[in-house]
Amino acid sequence: MASENGRQFVRYSAYKLRPEWRSLESDRKAAGRRELTAVIDELSDGMLIRGYSLMGTRGDADFMLWAAADRLEQIQGLATRIFSTDLGRHLDTTHSYLAMTKKSMYIDKHQHAKQEGERLQVTPVGRNYLFVYPFVKTRAWYSLEIESRQDMMRTHFAVGHKYPNITINTSYSFGLDDQEFVVAFEGDDPGDFLDLVMELRLSKASSYTERDTPILTGVFMSTDEVLESLGD
């Protein structure tokens, strides 16, 4: 059964490989990679699962999974199946962001195709990089009149429209997890995202940000490529 109003659950999970895995026999490690790949391929028939390597971009995580499903039990089942594999028993979850899709209250006529605010179903555009972070607004933000917040968000959106090759996926965590939002940006050029974030820091809405870290920068790969990137 799908969630109410067609919304989806979204989870970004970052994993760290324990050092003892690298000392195992090569045949066992290869079998472990195949086993976990098969599990993810099987579950991908009923939910979205995309893998990203974090090797070289984070010191506290090695790879990330972006998952989206109609039911929370599917997200839970994915985690259970991962940690039931041989490779999974050698993984620690270092970051986990749970959220749901929801239409933005600030969307009016600004939106354009494949951008935030028009989709309740998660639909990645398939770019090479994913930039993910949790987001919390200050309490002062919510005490502002809706018109003031709307005006600031229009300016915020206008900056984003200057970077059409960066696609945002916003999901909502109120009451579900420690942050209020999770934002994930897809792009083919990390420099574009860097410039976008620098420009957004100049907007008035940015002054109402309480927290927007840690940031995960992932390189999109197939599941077997992600696991191969862990090294032998």
Task: Say whether pLDDT at 230 is over 80.
Answer: yes
What whole-number distance in Å separates Cα of residue 40 and Cα of residue 51? 10
Count CB-CB contacts under 10 A for residue 139. Answer: 9
Q: Name the more confident of 115 and 101.
A: 101
The predicted model gives 153-171 an average pLDDT of: 94
Task: Say whether pLDDT at 144 is over 60.
Answer: yes
Percentage of the chain with pLDDT > 70? 93
Q: Which superfamily does 104-217 belong to?
A: Apc35880; domain 1 (3.30.70.1030)
Task: Say whether pLDDT at 109 is over 60.
Answer: no
User: In 72-215, where do the E strands start and end?
Assistant: 91-100, 129-137, 167-172, 181-187, 209-211
Residues in the chain: 232
List pLDDT tens digits, range 8-24.
999 999 999 999 999 99
Residue 3: pLDDT band (50, 70, 90) is low
Residue 114's alpha-carbon distances to 2, 118, 136, 170, 218, in angstroms, are: 22, 8, 24, 12, 20
> Residue 232: what pLDDT?
80
pTM for this entry: 0.92
Is 4-99's fold the same as 104-217's? yes
CATH number of 4-99: 3.30.70.1030
The predicted model gives 35-48 an average pLDDT of: 97
Find out whether 120 and 10 touch, Cβ atoms under 8 Å. no
The domain segmentation of the chain, as residue ranges, is 4-99, 104-217
pLDDT, mean over the chain: 93
